Amino acid sequence: MKEDTNISNYCKYDSMLLTLFTSSLYIAGLVASFFASSITSRFGRKPSILIGGATFLAGTALGAAAANIYMLIFGRVLLGVGVGFANQAVPLYLSEMAPATYRGAMANGFHLCVNLGILSANLINFGTEKIKGGSGWRISLAMGAVPASVLTIGSFFLSETPNSLIQRGVDSQKARLVLQRVRGTTDVQVELDDLIKASSASKTLNHHPFHLILQRKYRPQFIMSIAIPFFQQVTGINVIGFYAPLLFRTIGLGESASLLSAVLTGLVGTCSICITILTVDKIGRRALFIIGGILMFIPQITVGAIMAYKLGDHTELMTKGYSYSVLVLICVYVCGFAISWGPLAWLVPSEIFPLEIRSIGQSINVAVGLIFTFIIAQTFLAMLCHLKAGIFFFFGSWVFLMTGFVYFLLPETKNVPIEKMDKIWRQHWFWKRFVGEEESVDNQWNVPIPMSNGIWN
């Protein structure tokens, strides 16, 4: 069959069914994240991780065995429930278990594993595309059972976090034993006292956590729980994550080359996050956010210019030279995301919330992320069709804005114990008007001090 030359190069793959299948996972995850908040707060982080793993396992089994589109979509919904629970509980678990000086590196292990999963999925898709008989997609879906099984079985061997044990009124001696085991020392009394003090303060606030987070003194955390996941999604990364093969086919690469290019971008992202793990507790979160913003902004604007110049609606696709240039620029963009908004958008929210709003704060963070993931997933192919090359300028503009947001409004959190995190807001040139200034500044935790011009030293 001859290809319809009246269809724009940007609109060839605009399919509502494809986007509905992709985005159904995120609506399910959105709903599940709020149930996960109650379970995580009332029963602990460990049960939520177990539920997430088990539900994800069920979703992979149903999807791989699907006999019709309804089974396939329902399996995708179960995957979404698993994502909602895991994304709510795992970052909290890692941040609470990690010592302050290594919290960034350990918590970023979460995003490293996400990237390894994406890379593995791209490799599997590249391999199964060669399988004859049309059963390759079942193998791709079934392979999701491997990480789901690891998460489900592994959760049985986890210790509950000391923060959760104390918050739920479990004997503090058990919390002490957990602290001693994960810190590798018996000298944990100071940290234990801080946890007990934070828990006692949170229990004096007789309000639902959602009502608490809306109070003025929690305004910085509430704003960050919305702004950070929103900005993460409008970086445009899900354009690459969801539709990389289709995007690469749009610019002229063949099917196999497109899948292999998606593998390449996954490999770049995985390697780049290792840079973040090694540097996040040394140079800080803000520096990585700003460096990553620059590495994302320049490639997006350049790719948009190349596609506007070389890829018309009905003209021949770009030459191989330009196609591979776009591929290289997208790899630079992925590198920028992987050292900044990829891992740090999970790390920073998981460490800024005080105990009394930690669970609901993380749920808002996950829910906002999933809402905008759904919106991007559902609308990207239509946006590509209508905005054409301008879609890269659209996302590039957001990257410029969010980099400015970080520069002016996000304080540094490296090496600050979670129980002492309120200090960073009290010392910030803008947020101190909401939470109030401290009478004296105790900078023993190396909290950055704002200078008179509002810039942090």
In a domain, 4, yes or no: no
For residues 174 and 290, state if they share a domain.
no
pLDDT of residue 437: 56
Q: How many domains does the chain have?
A: 2
Side-chain half-sphere exposure of 396, counting CA atoms within 13 A: 18
Host domain of residue 184:
168-204
The dihedral region occupied by 97, where left means phi > 0, alpha psi between -120 and 50, and beta the remainder, is alpha
For residues 149 and 125, state if they share a domain.
yes
In a domain, 109, yes or no: yes
Q: Are the beta carbons of 327 and 188 closer than 8 angstroms?
A: no
For residues 334 and 275, state if they share a domain.
yes
Taking the C-alpha atoms of 290, 291, 292 and 293 in order, what is their torsion angle to the nearest 10 degrees? 50
In a domain, 124, yes or no: yes
Closest CA to 433 of 454, 412, 404, 457: 454
State the CATH number of the domain containing residue 303.
1.20.1250.20
Mean pLDDT by 10 residues, the chain (457 residues): 50 60 78 85 90 93 86 88 89 86 84 80 75 76 88 92 85 87 86 81 64 89 94 83 61 62 80 91 94 94 83 59 80 92 91 84 88 80 76 92 96 87 90 71 42 39
Closest CA to 83 of 36, 139, 149: 36
For residues 42 and 74, state if they share a domain.
yes
Q: Which residue has the tokens 């620029």?
A: 329
In a domain, 333, yes or no: yes
For residues 198 and 247, state if they share a domain.
no
Side-chain half-sphere exposure of 32, counting CA atoms within 13 A: 26
For the chain, give the longest Cα–Cα distance.
77
pLDDT of residue 249: 65
For residues 56 and 192, state if they share a domain.
no
In a domain, 443, yes or no: no
pLDDT of residue 243: 55
For residues 36 and 183, state if they share a domain.
no
For residues 282 and 314, state if they share a domain.
yes
In a domain, 7, yes or no: no
For residues 198 and 299, state if they share a domain.
no
pLDDT of residue 415: 87
Q: Which structure tokens are listed for 29?
A: 């995850």
pLDDT of residue 72: 85
Closest CA to 269 of 153, 415, 121: 121
DSSP-derived 3-state class of residue 276: helix
For residues 175 and 239, state if they share a domain.
no
Closest CA to 143 of 126, 165, 168: 126
Q: Which structure tokens are listed for 42?
A: 């009332």
For residues 222 and 293, state if they share a domain.
yes
Q: Which structure tokens are listed for 102?
A: 């290594």
For residues 325 and 196, state if they share a domain.
no
DSSP-H helix ranges across 131-171: 136-142, 145-155, 162-167
Q: Are the beta carbons of 319 and 252 closer than 8 angstroms?
A: yes
